[in-house]
Amino acid sequence: MDFELKTLDLAGAAGEKSDVLLVLVTEGFQAGKDPLGKLVASALAAGDLEPKPGKMLQAYRAEGIAAPRLLLAGAGDGSGKRVQTAVQAAASTLRSSTARKLTVLLPAGSGADAVRAAVCGIAESSYVYVATKSKPEARELKKVVIGVADAGAQKQAFARAKAAAAGIEFARELGNLPPNYATPTRLGEEATKLAKTHGLQVEVLGPKEVARIGMGSFMGVAKGSVEPLRFITLRYDGAGKGEAPIVLVGKGITFDTGGISIKPSAEMDEMKYDMGGAASVLGTFRALAELKPRLNVIGLIPSCENMPDGGSYKPGDILTSLSGQTIEVLNTDAEGRLILCDALTYAERFKPRAVIDIATLTGACVVALGGVRSGLFATDDALAQQLLDAGDAALDPCWRMPLDDEYAEGLKTNFADVANVAGRAGGAVVAAKFLHRFTQNYPWAHLDIAGTAWKGGAAKGSTGRPVGLLLEYLLSQESVGAAPAKRASVAAPAKAAKAARARTRALA
């Protein structure tokens, strides 16, 4: 889909040749003398149109309007959130139509938030999954003109919005692919393809290399699957060599049966989305490559299946992680943390200024926050605030959760340094506390996207979240510069991490 930004007012929009003209009408709408302005004003005066978001009025072949279909939509105060609601409502009425070209006139005075909401909202609501349909009916909409009062002033916002929309859609498409298509091998291929077409650096490791590095925890999870694991490293170098990178770590479980601690059958198909974290890292890199901010970013994706098999890891098994810490597996369904902990230790070698992992980690997070906000855990208050702000701005919000040490009590075991599960209470926090042990040497944040990465029910499908949040956060870091953030305090597990770092450096 092709987006174009144009300077348009009501009169200009009326003359724009397209199949549909969508005019967003805010509170305090100012009518001019042009026919479209008059039409809107009279509809408002008659009460047939309200500026409330979600309210709409349609017209066909209206006098003086070039587009055959005219759609007036209330957009409240014109904020990003209201524009999103308006665009979504309009798009759902257009869904069944064959419109190929759409012009959207944003309210006068619209800023970056409205531009992003319009571009991302239209991309989102016109997306159609076709990859595995035998008679695909592709997206009809080919061209979208976004009309603003001053296109020059919105140029950067528009470029960012387009990149975000493309990144979100890329993540969404990967998430929606069935698990026999989106295998760890396929994720590796997608990362390679992305790197080749966009000039990124990539490295894809297989079982042998991962064994040599010593990722015993990750390898334990992969044991039961015939699909070989992959460990993907993506690099975007937009700043000087000396600048500490931000590392994104995405959970890439391409199918989670639960393993020997097998899940119930109902809705198990949805566990194809368990690579949503990985998909969001790939989508974010796609957007970075397009925008080229002055920033160094590294993406790490541990990817495998979690399957029951004669060769599977079992409850009671003890795994030795890359950090040197031993882990007692008490539930093979708590596999996400087991692949992430090795990637988090691996992240140390990049001397990062911050590490953010993204994972469909716990059903408990779905219970806590539903599908509205992702769970955010962070050891660094500044990093937490930046992510909260980025999420709000991108309409991809998260909510901070605690990391008190008391939540880790249940992870104690007689047979290893740590167990992989505790009781059911506070499950999302307990999972975060498990990861916390492996993140002592850099500022760290964890996004539990179990509730936000996909939708169930009739609208079943991947959402592409939290690409919007991640991109917004990264772009906000562009001007911060090279100074590495101050190190978090070094606690007990860091010793082992240091030893492992020396070990892996020697092997690399």
Q: Which does 257 bind (CB under 5 to 8 A by kind): Zn ion, Mn ion, ligand BES, none?
A: none
The catalytic position among 337, 373, 433, 501 is: 337
3-state secondary structure 278-294: HHHHHHHHHHHHHHCCC
Cα angle 292, 296, 301 (rounded to 5 degrees) comes to 100
Asked if 4 and 145 touch (Cβ cutoff 8 Å), the reply is yes
CB of 309 to ligand BES, least distance (A): 17
Nearer to Mn ion, 190 or 335 (CB): 335
Q: Does 173 help bind Zn ion (rule: CB under 5 A)?
A: no
Among 243, 256, 348, 396, binds Mn ion (CB under 5 A): 256
Among 113, 169, 256, 396, binds Zn ion (CB under 5 A): 256
198 to 237: interface string for ligand BES, x by CB under 6 A:
----------------------------------------
Single out the segment in contact with Zn ion by CB under 5 A; choices: 277-285, 313-321, 331-339, 482-490: 331-339
Q: Does 338 help bind ligand BES (rule: CB under 6 A)?
A: no
Dihedral of the alpha carbons of 168, 172, 175, 178, in degrees to the nearest 10:
-150
Nearer to ligand BES, 228 or 363 (CB): 363
CB of 340 to ligand BES, least distance (A): 10
Q: Does 333 help bind ligand BES (rule: CB under 6 A)?
A: yes
Q: Which residues contact 31 (CB under 8 A, 6 or more apart)?
A: 37, 38, 40, 41
Q: Does 256 help bind ligand BES (rule: CB under 6 A)?
A: yes
Nearest to 76, CA basis, from 24, 19, 144: 24
Interatomic CA distance for residues 275 and 174, integer angstroms: 9
Please name the amino acid found at residue 470: L
Quote the DSSP letter at residue 465.
Answer: T
The catalytic position among 38, 142, 143, 263 is: 263
3-state secondary structure 131-197: CCCCCCCCCCCCEEEEEECCHHHHHHHHHHHHHHHHHHHHHHHHHHCCCCCCCHHHHHHHHHHHHHH
498 is catalytic: no
Q: Does 336 help bind Zn ion (rule: CB under 5 A)?
A: yes
Q: Is the peptide bond before 484 cis (omega within 30 degrees of 0)?
A: no
Quote the DSSP letter at residue 249.
Answer: E
Nearer to ligand BES, 367 or 490 (CB): 367
Cα angle 422, 279, 449 (rounded to 5 degrees) comes to 40
Q: Does 305 help bind Zn ion (rule: CB under 5 A)?
A: no
Within residues 52-111, the interface with ligand BES by CB under 6 A covers none
Among 274, 305, 348, 448, binds Zn ion (CB under 5 A): 274
Within residues 348-377, the interface with ligand BES by CB under 6 A covers 360-364, 366
- The residue number whose beta carbon is nearest to ligand BES equals 363
465 is catalytic: no
Q: Which residues pair with 233 in a beta bridge?
A: 203, 300
Q: Which residues contact 352 (CB under 8 A, 6 or more apart)?
A: 244, 245, 246, 247, 298, 442
Rg (CA), the chain: 24
304 to 343: interface string for Mn ion, x by CB under 5 A:
-----------------------------x-x--------
Cβ count near 59 (within 10 Å): 16
Q: Which does 51 bind (CB under 5 to 8 A by kind): Mn ion, ligand BES, Zn ion, none?
A: none
Nearer to ligand BES, 29 or 273 (CB): 273
Alpha-helix runs per DSSP H in 318-426: 336-346, 363-369, 381-393
Which positions lie near ligand BES, rule CB under 6 A?
A: 256, 274, 331, 333-336, 360-364, 366, 421, 427, 450
Active site residues: 263, 337
Q: Which residues bind Zn ion (CB under 5 A)?
A: 253, 256, 274, 336
Question: What are the residues binding Mn ion (CB under 5 A)?
Answer: 256, 333, 335
